[in-house]
Structure 1
Amino acid sequence: MEPTIPHRDGGGFGALFSEFTEQARRLVRAEVSLARAELRTEARKASAGAGLLTGGGGVLLLGAITFVAFLVAVLADALPLWASLLIVAAVLLAVGGAMAWSGRHRMKRVHGPERTIQTLKEDGRWASRSAHSMKSQMHGHA
């Protein structure tokens, strides 16, 4: 629904301009509020993705440390110790890789305030039409 400028008898241009600026102020406040809400939502998405990336990196580090222990065990001993270390390292690396992939996937879904940008464009078109209409009314071309 598009806001309309109420028609007032009398009062002249000053009253009409005052009404227009008040509506413009309300519109700007509403747009700022919408931008804040959108940015809050996107920040939550970014936070979740960053947490998974961090967690994935930590698990990958544990896997790398365990893999190093595996290599040491292979050189130092026979089958039982290194076999168990290999299994642990493989599981940790798989879990860490899955977490990092999931975090990266979530980070790709973070966007700017697209709705706010769209409504600002629409509001600009409305303001332009309203100003043109006011100008026409002033010159008696309504």
Structure 2
Amino acid sequence: MQPGNPNTRGGYDYEGRTVPGDGMPDRAFGSLLGEFFDQGKRLISAEITLAKTELSQEMTKFKAGGAMVGVGGVLLLIGGIAFMLFACAALALVMPFWAAALIVTVLFLAIGAGVAFAGIKRIKEFHAPTKTIQTLKEDGQWASRTFQSVKSQMHGHA
């Protein structure tokens, strides 16, 4: 009986005939480990790119919500000023001017509050990068399985 060729996965049967393997030469542990770390680096780079994309999309929503809150705040300020005009006019001259000031005040306060609440609602829609978190979990599982496979190959050939 001839010994199997150590550079292939095939070998010889008990009568000396060649037994085919998968045609791939056994790779050294260092080579497998190097490939594992190279793939890990590429994976981390892809995850960082995905996280940046997701966060960029969420920041766009956040900025729009912040702008709406700002506009709402300005309108509330104008409403407050109009309310002061109303109070002054109502106390000083009990005339129709105060009715106009009251209508303007209520209108500005209603519009300002509506815009501010819409902005707050938009800000609350800000989410963590869920796709990135999920793929990071999957990547961790892949890395663990791959490392265990490399480790078992090393122990199997020792």
Task: Report whether the alignment pairs 1:107 with 2:123.
Answer: yes
Task: Report whether the alignment pairs 1:91 with 2:112.
Answer: no
Task: Report whether the alignment pairs 1:15 with 2:35.
Answer: no
Structure that is richer in helix per residue: 1
Deviations 1:12-33 (A, max 9, x none): 1111111111100100000000
Q: 1:8 to 1:53 in 2, by over 3 A?
A: farther
Q: Which runs of 5+ in 1 are unaligned?
A: 1-6
Please list every run of at least 4 consecutive aligned residues from structure 1 whose deviation after the TM superposition is greater than 6 angstroms. none
Instruction: Report the CA distance between 1:79 and its aligned residue.
Output: 2.8
1:88 corresponds to which letter in structure 2?
V
Deviations 1:23-81 (A, max 9, x none): 00100000000000011011001101100001000000000000000000001112310
Question: Which residue number corresponds to residue 137 of structure 2?
Answer: 121
Instruction: Report the CA distance between 1:136 and its aligned residue.
Output: 1.2
Larger relative contact order, structure 1 or 2 (CA cutoff 8 Å, min sep 6): 1
Q: 1:8 to 1:34 in 2, by over 3 A?
A: farther
Deviations 1:104-139 (A, max 9, x none): 100110012121111111100110011111111112
Task: Report whether the alignment pairs 1:28 with 2:44.
Answer: yes
Identity between Structure 1 and Structure 2 (%):
48
Q: Which runs of 5+ in 2 are unaligned?
A: 1-22
Question: Which residue number corresponds to residue 44 of structure 1?
Answer: 60
For residues 63 and 85 of structure 2, what CA distance do their matches in structure 1 show?
Answer: 33
Give the alignment partner of residue 79 of structure 2, picking from 43, 54, 63.
63
SS at match of 2:126: coil
